[in-house]
Amino acid sequence: MRAGAILAQEREGEDGSLALFPCDDILWQGMFAQIGDRLKKRSWEVWLGTLCALGAVAHKNLHWHYYRPLFGMVYGLLISPTGQGKGIVADVCDALLPEGYTKRDSVQSGPALFPILAKIERNEKGKILKIIPRQAILIIEEWTALLKASKIEFSNLQEILNNLFHHTRPWNVSRSDTEKSGGDREVANPTLSICATTTASLLHEQVSEKMIRSGNKQK
């Protein structure tokens, strides 16, 4: 879902208190049911962690056509009140990914995604010899950290994360100050997933009206 998996959004109950959208039984099928039963917990935290991990493993092996090609990987965001155990999302996702899968818990800029999305081989002088694409996931326990990094002057992190969502063309980073090590660098098959959590209050605090109107909010 391009707008993100907002799963546990706070809502107001009839008495004015905050309640949570229920995690319906119909969602717990197949692998989701197996993991929920093993953990003895069927919650949005477990469900989203499972979804992000399965999508990351499926990546571009799973494909269907919507308005453009869509693949298995997702940008998943759980919005839940403080004290609801949101960290379980990251724990479940991390535990389900195969050994060696590229996992990171932060990124500070758009170009910094380059060494995450590809294994880079260099010679003894630092010149890039080979760029090998690899599947990667950002597992971020506080999603608004991405927004804060994107608000740094001249940052293009937001735009690049949006661009990389189910990207089918090669993705390139061109920087004139790194010609020695390869100023024009390209990842042939960028494959990125995101698994993140936040609270409604932080979401409202960090997401501006301009981001929503421009379509540059994170998934």
Tens digit of each residue's pLDDT (9 = 90 or more) over 29-45: 999 999 999 999 999 99
Does residue 175 belong to any structural domain of this protein?
A: yes
Task: Give the CATH number of the domain where residue 137 resides.
Answer: 3.40.50
Higher-confidence residue of 210 and 13: namely: 210
Does residue 183 belong to any structural domain of this protein?
A: yes
Note the pLDDT of residue 4: 40
Note the pLDDT of residue 101: 97
156-193: burial string, b at 16+ Cβ within 10 Å, e else: ebbebbbebbbbeeebebeeeeeeeebeebbbebbbbb
The total of structural domains in the chain comes to 1
Contact 138, 107 (CB under 8 A): yes
Helix, strand, coil content of the chain in percent (nearest 5): 35, 25, 40
Note the pLDDT of residue 8: 45
Note the pLDDT of residue 85: 74
Contact residues for 184 (Cβ-Cβ < 8 A; gap 6+): 172, 173, 174
Domain span including residue 167: 5-214
Does residue 34 belong to any structural domain of this protein?
A: yes
Q: Looking at the predicted structure, is the pLDDT value of residue 136 above 70?
A: yes
Does residue 76 belong to any structural domain of this protein?
A: yes
Note the pLDDT of residue 16: 46
Note the pLDDT of residue 217: 43
Q: Looking at the predicted structure, is the pLDDT value of residue 58 above 50?
A: yes
Q: Looking at the predicted structure, is the pLDDT value of residue 150 above 90?
A: no
What is the rounded distance in angstroms from the CA atom of residue 124 to the CA atom of residue 119?
16
Q: Looking at the predicted structure, is the pLDDT value of residue 63 above 60?
A: yes
Higher-confidence residue of 27 and 17: namely: 27
Predicted TM-score (pTM) of this structure: 0.83
Per-residue CA distances from 139 to 51, 101, 189 (Å):
13, 12, 20
Does residue 219 belong to any structural domain of this protein?
A: no
Note the pLDDT of residue 25: 92
pLDDT tens per residue, range 79-103? 988 766 789 999 999 999 999 999 9
pLDDT above 90 covers a percentage of the chain that reads 50
pLDDT above 70 covers a percentage of the chain that reads 81
- CA nearest neighbour of 140 among 21, 38, 49, 207: 49
Q: Looking at the predicted structure, is the pLDDT value of residue 122 above 90?
A: no
Residue 6 structure tokens: 């907002």
Note the pLDDT of residue 76: 95
Does residue 33 belong to any structural domain of this protein?
A: yes
Note the pLDDT of residue 69: 86
Q: What is the mean pLDDT of the chain?
A: 83
